[in-house]
C-alpha cells in the first residue's frame, strides 16, 4: 500500500472511533487539528488502526509521530514484504 492509500484507509477508522463523519486526513494533519482526538480515546484509535492494518504500533513509537503522514509511513514500512 502506498502512503496515500494507507491514509485513505485510515479515514473511516478515525471517523468511527472519534464519532465524527466529516474528518478528513492528509499527510500534514496533526492531532492538534482534530478536535475530537483526545488523550482518553487515543489508545482506542491506535488499537483500531493496528487492527485495520494488522500491525503493531508500540506506544513509544506512536509518541514520535508528528502527523498522520508519519503514522502512515510507519505502517507502510511494517506492511512492506521483508
Partner 1 sequence: MSAPTIVAQIAVTSSKRLWSLPNEEAFCTAELMSGAGAVAQAIRQLPGFRPGCHIALNLPTSREWIEALLGAWFAQAVPAALNPYALPEELSFCIDELQAVGIIDLHGTEISAEVAPQIARISLCGSRSVHPSPLPGGAPIPPFDPRDCEQFHVDATLDALVLFTSGSSGRPKGVRLSHRGLVASVAGLTAGIEPRDEVFLLQAPMHHVFGVVTCLLALSTQSGAVLLPAFAATTMLEAIVRYRATISFGPPELFLGLSSCPGLARYDLRSFRRILVGGSPCRLAQLLEIERALGLETIFLSFGMTETTGGISLAPLRASDGRPRVHAGRPVPTIEVAVRCGDVLAGPGEEGELCFRGAHLLTGYLGQPEHGENDWLASGDLGLVDADGLLHVTDRIKDIIIKAGENISIAEVERVLLETGRVREVCVVGVPDERLGENVAAAVISTDSALNKRELQRLCQGKLLKSRIPQKIVFVDELPRLPTGKVARRAVRALILEDGKGKSVSP
Q: Is 42 in the site for partner 1 (CB under 8 A)?
A: yes
Site membership for partner 1, residue 40 (CB under 8 A):
yes
Tell me which residue of 45, 43, 41 sits closest to 14, measured CA to CA.
Answer: 45
Q: CB of 30: closest distance to partner 1 in angstroms? A: 10
22 binds partner 1 (CB under 8 A): yes
The 3-state DSSP composition of the chain as helix, strand, coil percent (nearest 5) reads: 55, 0, 45
20 is a contact residue toward partner 1 (CB under 8 A):
yes
Distance between CA 34 and CA 23 in Å, rounded?
A: 8
User: In this chain, which stretch among 9-17, 42-50, 66-74 interacts with partner 1, using CB under 8 A?
Assistant: 42-50
Residues 15, 10: Cα–Cα separation, whole Å: 9
Interface positions with partner 1 (CB under 8 A): 19-20, 22, 32-33, 35-36, 38-44, 47, 59
Amino acid at each position: 500500500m502506498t502512503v496515500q492509500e494507507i491514509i485513505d484507509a485510515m479515514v473511516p477508522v478515525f471517523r468511527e472511533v472519534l464519532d465524527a463523519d466529516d474528518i478528513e486526513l492528509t499527510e500534514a494533519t496533526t492531532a492538534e487539528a482534530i478536535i475530537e482526538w483526545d488523550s482518553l480515546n487515543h489508545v482506542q484509535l491506535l488499537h483500531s488502526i493496528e487492527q485495520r492494518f494488522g500491525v503493531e504500533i508500540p506506544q513509544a513509537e506512536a509518541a514520535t509521530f508528528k502527523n498522520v503522514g508519519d503514522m502512515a509511513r510507519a505502517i507502510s514500512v511494517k506492511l512492506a514484504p521483508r
